[in-house]
Amino acid sequence: MSDLTLVSTGRLPFKQGVKFQLSTSLDHSMWFHQFRFNVNEWLLYETEMVGHSSNRSLVNARIWSRNGQLLCSTSQEVLIYPDVEANNQLSKL
């Protein structure tokens, strides 16, 4: 659940439609702030890209309960390589 959209959030610095040769998680950490909650209830999953440099993005996220209680914080470093050859072909179309 915590790793669901962090890689796609790390791709935000790239133009929409860019094809990727590789995008993968390098590391992933979670910090639980509450221990008694039901994961079957609706949760808000807030993600933000903190920075991007040298094909790496740092993405943080927070998971909130319906009543606004912070349940968990996560952090993930993402490695991203655009597919240069495929993107060059797209630009020629």
Average pLDDT, whole number, for the chain? 80
- The angle formed by the CA atoms of residues 27, 36 and 9, to the nearest 5 degrees, is 30
Does the residue 53 lie in any domain? yes
Q: What is the Cα Rg of the chain in Å?
A: 16
CATH code for the domain of 68:
3.10.129.10
The confidence score (pLDDT) of residue 57 equals 85
Does the residue 35 lie in any domain? yes
The confidence score (pLDDT) of residue 20 equals 67
Does the residue 62 lie in any domain? yes
Span 29-67, pLDDT tens digits: 999 999 899 889 999 999 998 988 888 888 999 999 999
Phi then psi for 89, rounded to 5 degrees? Answer: -65, -40
Overall number of domains in the chain: 1
Identify the residue with better confidence: 89 or 54.
54
Domain interval for residue 27: 6-92
The confidence score (pLDDT) of residue 80 equals 78
Identify the residue with better confidence: 13 or 49.
49
Would the pTM of this model clear 0.75, i.e. be above it? no
Does the residue 1 lie in any domain? no
